[in-house]
Structure 1
Amino acid sequence: MAHIDYYFTAVSPFCYLAGLRLEEIAARHGATITYKPLDMIALFARTGGVALPDRPDCRKVYRLQEIRRQAAKRGLPVVLKPKHFPTNPAPAAYAIIAAQAAGGGDLGGLVHGVLRACWAEERDVAEDAVIRECLSAAGFDSALADKGLLAGAETYAANLEEATARGVFGAPFYITDGDERFWGQDRLEDLDLHLAGRL
């Protein structure tokens, strides 16, 4: 059975724009997914990336145009400058880690719900109430927002170390069990073709 490690941050617009396509691709190929939220700013510092505030204006303008176009292409509502971005992605990441450990709900739905809360609903995904609502909506116990915080913090840090070692440098980033790497929601079609044996 194929497996995909999915490295992401809970506040990336491009992770939001992936929608649920990763989950659809995995289902089509009988593949499993491990969700690995991480600190993207720390990853940028290690891999040559540049945090958004430090990028030249030309890149900032292009980023907004690309978000708008990709959202329209995918039929996803988007707020280009949401009121709660940037925000601390760690609390939502810890909840996602706890939910993955607990099982019993729709993990892909949870991840997308958190991203949608930021990029379509202008809610602060660092807030406990927002995280609890996302957990409940995806079929998880909302109390997971408060459980396993130490384990969540340790896994969050370990995900960063693992990502750096495996060549991850942005989000979303997908790695198959054969170490085939795909960066960006616009490479999901290539991931699909790879799992089908066509790339």
Structure 2
Amino acid sequence: MTHTNRPPRKPGRFNAYTAYTWVLQHASEINGDPKRVAVGGESAGGNLAAVVSQMARDKGATLPVHQLLVYPMAGHDFNTPSYKRNAEAKPLNKPMMEWFYKHYLGKPQDANNPYAVPLAAKSLKGLPPATVIAAEIDPLLFEGKTYADRLKNDGVKVTYKEYPGVTHEFFGMGKVVDKAKDAEDLAARELRQAFGNQ
């Protein structure tokens, strides 16, 4: 058995925050601007982007200029209207999400930790502006809409758009799905605006 000085591996959400702070500290080395850094992701990636934004606020760090949340995994309630309606949807369904959460949460009480489940946060005030994109045929639809509504209610500027007739994972299909192309264009416009590139 060998001994190392490396700390134990942390859950992905903490690695995401570490990556974010690394970008802020090393932006000039990669021809970036630390004042124009956004976070974004789809599904579990949307979860991490929301968590990074919350952690940056809570730690008093520089906030992202924008958070792009594409059908984010924001809640932990498997009985929402969209879970009931899309329990057997493809490519993502309720049994899959239950499996994912079983392996994502370190312990059951982590479902109450906003750094694991963004909707568990008591307040979303002071977070960066957000774009939330949702798909109709997706168990995560309700929690994405709920997160967008809570952001708005807490004074955060939010653009929310739900795309009818499409499923989870549609976002990357812009070459063949018109609604995906529209969603990609929306995301690009919102990010350009956040970066100050009108």
The TM-score with structure 2 as length reference comes to 0.30
Q: Choose between structure 1 and 2: higher helix proportion.
A: 1
The TM-score with structure 1 as length reference comes to 0.29
Q: Which one has a bigger Cα radius of gyration? A: 2
**Greater length-normalized contact order (CA 8 Å, ≥ 6 residues apart):** 1
